[in-house]
Structure 1
Amino acid sequence: MKRIAFIAVLTLLGHMSQAQSPATTFAEKLGYPKGKKIIIMHIDDVGMSYESNQGAIRAMEEGVANSLSVMMPCPWVPGFVHYLKENPTVDAGLHLTMTSEFKDYRWGPLAGKPQVKGLVDSEGALRKGVRDVVKNATPDEIEIEIRAQLARAREMGFEPTHMDSHMGTLFATPEYIERYLKVGMEEKIPVMFPGGHNTVAQSQEELVAEQLQMTRKVGQMLWAAGLPVLDDLENSSYGWKEPESGDKSPEALQAYKTEKYIQALENVKPGLTMVIMHCTIHSEIFPHISDSWPTRQGDFLAMIDPKLKAYIEKEGIILTTWREAMERRKKIK
């Protein structure tokens, strides 16, 4: 999420008194041990391409990643859903997609252009940027497309464990946030929203106390609706492009990204935190989709690095999933 997301929350909820740090984390409320870092190692952009699918599968089967979300309008969704049917315990959610950001590799809305004209550009695809979506798409169109993506998942036999937002588009205006939260609460599907102490998010987004309090009020609302809530969100990995040396070899990317993840986990405070990443295997094709391949390949290589696994075990970090968090929440009255 960008800083605009939290400003939108501020506008949505109105002014409140100065923020106070929650006495009890949402992780503790869910029954996780007090004082422990409870981490969801989460992969975005699954279903976007063959490389994205394989990167996610291998990062979970061979590494420490343990959760992911799927871009339902994208071409390689069937391939991943077929994998899910053979592996039904995988923690898989919806990466709700309102944009199609690449130049030559595009996808359109699942609701169809007549239903969501404001989301569609001159190529018949979803718009490339968040600002363009905000300029053209109504909250009603956003909700229609959210529900269309959920409907496709269910028609394919895929019941998502959670929902989040591709490129943070659903956090771009108060009205979009409201529709996102509304669908999650109505459908009883956990939504990615950092509603707790937000130590890392506060640092990354430069939140003032009033904005921080707004996120906590949303967290309380989601908890009251029977959903688990994140205490924090670590969302900086996409900016870790490549080593300063410019070396893009697999060995250099792995060493660089692994160290970055260790540093990030070091800065996380106790509570339930979602760490976001994008994992792809490398191919001759993917660089023609996006020049982000070094950071995506680096994420994958970091997840399967024994050094990262050893650090997590040494520090006593507990890995969990949205599925487990929701199961715990259901047991609490």
Structure 2
Amino acid sequence: MSKDRLLIINADDFGMCHSTNRAIGTLLKEGYITSASIMMTCPWVTEAASFVRQNPQIDVGIHITHTSEWEHYKWGPLRRDLSTLKDQYGYFPSNTATVIAEVDPEELREEAVAQIELAIKMGIDPTNIDNHMGSMNHVTDILLELCQAYNLPLRYPKHAHPKLNIPHNEQLVKHAEEKGILLPDHVMFLPFFSPIEEVEPTYDSTKEATIQCIRELRPGITELPFHPSMDTEELKSITNTWKMRRFEFDVFKDKEIIKLLDKEEIRLITWRDIRNMQRAL
């Protein structure tokens, strides 16, 4: 096995709101990160898609969405005829547990296809698939079928996270390999999803966690998803995670982080690189 450490720095939630679009667009255009994942059901997706059309070199995957988690900022399915995928007001369920318990898996599939097709119609050339809040992790056969249908790799690690107690689906990894669907070797996280919540998050703690993550990268391909945004009044009205999102916007522009990536001989790659490898199989 090669000892090279390859890293995809992927910004999630592209299209969620204007503040997030500004942050992700800046990081992509200035080359601080390598990829982004777009939410096709969100109110600001047309702005994100316009940015991609104007910058066709940008690497964008589909963040398949079946949940709408914020209390006062909502979105729903593209397929309005999917009855089990809507709450009483027409929005997605607010959490993944409700999706698992109440939503017809075939409606998950139909909505996912609608989102991918809309992205393509809007001029996006998808480079990979993943699913927001793990809303399809209980129907991995459908996820893999979508990957096959569009010949796209999937964000799911071949190996379990070494520190976080996250269930790992060995059968998915095996079936993906049998179907020729490429997966990253590892998926790492910043403190945004840490089980240990700070009373008052700080930029220094985000930066230190990023440094530790980079130093601990293992050989192979690692994806590091994160959630950057500008700390505007818009974002503050949407989510109480606004401080962490601003810290995550700042951290990959930090000169110390940039120097560390070089010092550690980390090579940045994109999901397009992985997609091209898959399509060459």
When normalised by structure 1's length, the TM-score is: 0.79
* Separation in 2, partners of 1:232, 1:242: 21
Change (3 A) 1:229 1:183: same
Partner of 2:134: 168
* 8 Å Cα contact 2:84-2:107 kept in structure 1: yes
* 8 Å Cα contact 2:3-2:219 kept in structure 1: yes
1:40-55 map, 5 Å:
40-55=8-23
1:252-263 map, 5 Å:
252-253=202-203, 255-263=204-212
- 2:157 is the counterpart of 1:189: no
- 2:141 is the counterpart of 1:178: yes
- 2:197 is the counterpart of 1:225: no
Change (3 A) 1:245 1:83: same
For residue 328 of structure 1, report the CA deviation from its aligned partner: 2.7
Higher helix share: 1
Q: Deviations over 1:72-94 (max 9, x none)?
A: 00011110111111111111011
* Separation in 2, partners of 1:139, 1:245: 38
Q: Secondary structure at the match of 1:109?
A: coil
Partner of 2:229: 280
Partner of 1:153: 119
* 8 Å Cα contact 1:44-1:276 kept in structure 2: yes
For residue 156 of structure 1, report the CA deviation from its aligned partner: 1.1
Q: Deviations over 1:224-265 (max 9, x none)?
A: 43332211111343235999583x6xxx52x33221111112
Q: How many residues align?
A: 281
* 8 Å Cα contact 1:100-1:128 kept in structure 2: yes
Change (3 A) 1:244 1:236: closer
| Unmatched tracts of structure 1, length 5 or more | 1-23, 25-33
Give percent identity, aligned residues only.
Answer: 27
Partner of 2:65: 97
Give the partner amino acid of 1:264: C
Give the partner amino acid of 1:86: Q
| Structure of higher CA gyration radius | 1
Give the partner amino acid of 1:52: T
**Which stretch shows the higher mean deviation, 236-245 or 40-49?**
236-245
Give the partner amino acid of 1:225: K
- What is the root-mean-square deviation in Å for CA atoms of aligned residues? 2.1
- 2:93 is the counterpart of 1:130: no
- 2:164 is the counterpart of 1:204: yes
When normalised by structure 2's length, the TM-score is: 0.93
* 8 Å Cα contact 1:96-1:165 kept in structure 2: yes
Partner of 2:267: 318
Q: Secondary structure at the match of 1:228?
A: coil
* Separation in 2, partners of 1:205, 1:245: 22
* Separation in 1, partners of 2:31, 2:194: 19
Runs of 4+ residues deviating >4 angstroms: 240-245
Q: Deviations over 1:105-136 (max 9, x none)?
A: 10110111x2x211111121001011111121
